[in-house]
Amino acid sequence: MLAGNLNRNRSDRQTLRLGVVSLLAYWALLLCLGCGHVGSDSEAQGTLESIQPQLVTSRGEIHFLRDLETGRSLAAEKGLPCLLFFTADWCTYCHDMEETAFTDPVVARMSKSFVCVLVDADQEKEVCKQFSVSGYPTIQFLSSQGRVLNRLVGRQSATELAAGMQAALKRFAWLNDSPTQLR
């Protein structure tokens, strides 16, 4: 009985330690958000104003285009990276992310540094095939020239999504400053 209590206490301490470390990592990410930020919020916010309203949809606090080619053209025009959200109506993990990660203020703020495009797996099977997407949700980050910046597969917490977005922005900044970038 004593050994069981000791093991349970050790497990509780490990769980608590993991929670504290995750919280600290999240706050560290919040403090670093200015690093690698591309474009101003007002510039990115104005990006969708010229788009036909039927091509724009919202999930959580993030505004998405429903057309990949329009999104890629807009990203190239504005010099912004793309965030492609591959989803399906039947995907419970996708809906969970929309209700949790996509409503997070940090994620919503960071999304303004991207041209966000929603790809419905049931309606756009060829696009899913083009990007080798077979699991949902998948988030693919692309440069404005179409180069892969990062990829997240499966349900992501707000902290994980923000970290993935930050990594994509840093790679985008590096590619744009790199003297060896492909043009």
Structure token pair of residue 94:
């996708």
For 114, residues 6+ apart whose C-beta sits below 8 A from its C-beta are 44, 80, 81, 82, 83, 141, 165, 168
Assess whether 26 and 62 both reside in one domain.
Answer: no
The model's confidence at residue 163, banded by pLDDT at 50, 70 and 90, is very high
Beta strands (DSSP E) in 92-167 are: 115-120, 138-142, 148-153
Q: Which residue segment(s) compose the domain that 97 sits in?
A: 38-177
pTM: 0.71
Q: Is residue 126 part of a domain?
A: yes
**Total number of domains in the chain:** 2
Total residues found in the chain within this entry:
183
183 exposure class (CB count in 10 Å sphere: 0-12, 13-18, 19+): exposed
Q: Is the pLDDT of residue 169 over 50?
A: yes
Residue 60 and residue 94 in one domain: yes
**pLDDT single digits (tens) 74-102:** 999 999 999 999 999 999 999 999 999 99
Q: What is the CATH number of the domain that holds 130?
A: 3.40.30.10
pLDDT attached to residue 16 = 42
In a domain, 182, yes or no: no
